[in-house]
Structure 1
Amino acid sequence: MYRNYFILNRLILELTPLLREAFVTSAFSQEKDRLILHLLKNNESFFLELSLNPGNPFIAYRESYSRAKKNTVEFFNQFLPQKISNVLIAEDDRIIKFQCGEGSFYFTIRGKYTNFYFISTSEELISFEKQEEKSAEMFVQEISSKKYLNYFNLPNFNAEVDIETVRKNFPILGKEITLEYKNRFGEENLLNVPECITIILTEIRDDHFSVLTESSSGSVHLAPAAFSIFPFEEKEDFPSLIEAVNYFLHKKFSIESSTNKKKIIVRHIEKELAKVTQRINSVKIRIGKGNREVEYSMIGNLLLINLYKIEHAVSAIEVENIYDENKIITIKLDPKLSSKKNVDVYFDKSKNERISFTKAKEMYSKLKLEFDRFKEYENLSARAETAEDYDKLIKELRIKMEYSINEKEDLKSKFKQYLIDGKYNVFVGKDSKNNDLLTTRFAKQNDYWFHARSVSGSHVVLRIENTKEPVPKIVLRKTAALAAYHSKAKTAGMVPVSYAFKKYVVKKKGMEAGKVAMLKEEVLIVKPEIPNGCEYVSNE
């Protein structure tokens, strides 16, 4: 209700004796939509703070104001200083006029057109927010034609018969006064409507003001003490509207700050829980497939026993399984590899199975603890009430208060994603433009970047979460295999894959989509495949 016309009317009546004969010595801004007037009277400084935010316009009296040493912008310098002779309000509009010797300042509250102006006696106009020249000329004409009051405005409602007609003919009443009338006198009351409205307006003019707070909903309201339309849990009374406005704004911003902190905390926890849940599900898939270490070791031993039987360039061999009543089994082979290499492949698979399965179980335990930790923080955030509670959570969760949804994390859904050994996230571009997005906007400087050498293919990024932890060579090889698999060399036997830290991959001006240059590179020779221990975890 602090923006209501009649509240502003009462406020300027309280401000007038303070501002009259005061000099506006400077006008400056150090944040968007906020203007500060520095005033001097009888060698004492004080300030007026004006918010020109369309959704939250206000005027507040400040005995002191801490001005930043940097990043402040001066306004209206060519017309300052100015001595205020009177403070008035338009008869039918939320326009506050600060009448001065060489012109007047105007604070206009008009939704998105809220602004602060100085109009000189020669009708030269300067505004806080930029305005088109044609609009400025029309505004000067409009301002000049209005009547301004230095007393409380009690309109003549005698011809009105019901509250809706009053509201229609006097839009300055506002919705809160209309609601108070209906709540107090009944919506169908047709008797003495003007008298009832006048009673309410007289309360605004003469009564104490209250700041009403409902912590459970996060709402705070300013209203005359007799008003009954606002629910509240706490009520503070003030004889002066200036004091009430200052307390109201302090309370409002404090609650908004706490509400904002809570939103940031909840959003952070939800985001972290989603990440942990996704990793848990991926690790569970790996664990669910079981440990094939014994199976691969057995096959390796069977091949070793029958090494002399393996013919050159065959893709399979049938052997007796001495571990299962000599049943005949078929073992797949890579025809491009020698007999000994095929044996080594299965022993390597056995070893990798043991390592990846053990790591998956260890990772599952760690992730469960992490999940439980964030669930506990979720409960704590739900029970938090004070600013101190939220600050403590922010500190413990290590949230940066300039927190905004991380663009890099938002982009992740745009790429193919794999999880290696239940721990390492790999992202794969889908086409040329998507490759550019992955490399130039998503990849971090210390991520590893991969691409099949000398052929077209996807850009592949291995996300590095902890730069202090060395990445195992086997993980680099598996990522390289994915890069080869997502290239034109997908069907080749062995493929050279270039890789480097992302900071050594640059896109120069004029390069085609998907084209980059490597300042440094290393090469791995790998088989194009989705390697063992690599799970696909996102939709294309």
Structure 2
Amino acid sequence: MALDGIVIANMVKELNESILGGKINKIAQPENDELLITIKNNKTQYRLLISAGASLPLIYFTQKNKPGPLTAPNFCMLLRKYIGSGKFTKIWQPGLERIIHFEIEHLNEMGDLCRKDLIVEIMGKHSNIIFCDDKGMIIDSIKHVSAQMSSIREVLPGRNYFIPATSEKYDPLIISERDFKASVCTRPMPLAKALYMTLTGISPLIAEEICHRSSLESSQSANSLSESEQTHLYHIFSMLMDNVRTGHFSPLIICNGKEPVEFSSVPLTQYQDFTSLEYTAVSDVLETYYAAKNAITRIRQRSADIRRIVQTALERDYKKYDLQLRQLKDTEKREKYKVYGELINAYGYGLEPGAKKLDALNYYTNEMISIPLDPTMTPQENARKNFDRYNKLKRTCEALQKLTVETKEAIEHLESIRTALDIALSEEDLVQIKEELTQYGYIRRKHAGKKVKITSRPLHFLSGDGYHIYVGKNNFQNEELTFKFASGNDWWFHAKGAPGSHVIVKNPDGGEMPDRTYEEAARLAAHYSANSEAEKTEIDYVQKKHVKKVNGKLPGFVIYHTNYSMLIDSDISEIEQII
């Protein structure tokens, strides 16, 4: 989601608490539409990242330093000239607009105290960073907007700065109940849309949240609400705005498993089935959310070609397997032709030449059956024909029984690779998966004999009772963990009947482990499996000495006996990961 007015209000509060009164120490422009300002305040150094990128406008504090170009861009040089050692005297947000004003005091060439206004507009593709004098005239901006680009407002040096009219939107911080009902509750559109189309700074996410808290359907028409429903909706909305006005924010990220789904500065009751990660600073939320989102997006983009190869091979094998099963089912009638041949040999001596059938007693079932005949053949030739058909179907059945096992194993192998792609966290993980596909002929090796360098390692966790737990991220890692790394007394966990990670709990003393450790290892096995989205997953676990590798089987495929099982969820949020 994009930054809405409430998140901006939270950010303004954080800015005031951190850098108000602080002095600018350094200004850099790492990208064409991005500033990195270093501020010193109360013996603490802050780095403020401001991005006016059309696809991802942002503003937050960061610990990371981004190097700028050798030659600073003109806008950066201008800011250094005027406010290079300026002091923040006021930071504010007009209404609930997605705009932040930084009022900065500085000394001019004559030593006189002057004031400038640095304005950050977080408005999607219209985002900008605008530098104005104390009278509101634009000195320069990081993006120039001419009349040819916008008929609403020019952003050019010498023009007066103003906020463009937001199509008769109301300020949610000051709107009265009467105006709320007259504007929001009279619109012939879905209720959630009426909220964010009528009120400044309210995003679709917050509109949905208001509807959820009000126990109203967001899809119902806003003008269909009864008087009591309108009053209730306003009161819920007003309570939310009271928290914004008083600065009571709750920065958080909503995650589905480990994937971030949404972020907000107010609690999101509509995501009760998801994990909510709470933070003390909205900057941490924004930096964490977009870093995780970018990492997941980057991995998905990099793995797209591998996924396509795996999916194509899977679809081919699914079709092959279905065809083989149908053909195998057809061979079930082979015994019928064997019986036909035997009965023709037994009763065919009395047949007249040219007979088209033989009615005979089946001495296996003691029933009369009718056997079709080829009238151009003798009884002996008809018998031989049925025996030949029986033998052919028998050979086909034997071959198909072997082929279906091989095809099923290939499908399970590809499904395990698909699960490994879902688990992959870095490009190093993809290298190992690609190497596996290459070794088994799904990808052609470009450089014959060249050994691929593998740097990916299994995941490492520490149980609440201090036991080290290791999780394989692909078949090669599973193989190495189970048969090279684990010792006989270690415990082995795996999702039952589903592709997934081998989980090893190191147990050097060989003693009984606490129940909590078994449960944490089982949760990891459930989370890193194809059943990670299931409410409960059945996990098999056994000491490693009972896990065997079958010669000739694919990597990661094992057999085991005398195992234990448990049903458990896949929530691993409280298990400590060691990086």
Q: TM-score range by the shorter chain?
A: 0.3 to 0.5
TM-score by length of 1: 0.48
TM-score by length of 2: 0.45
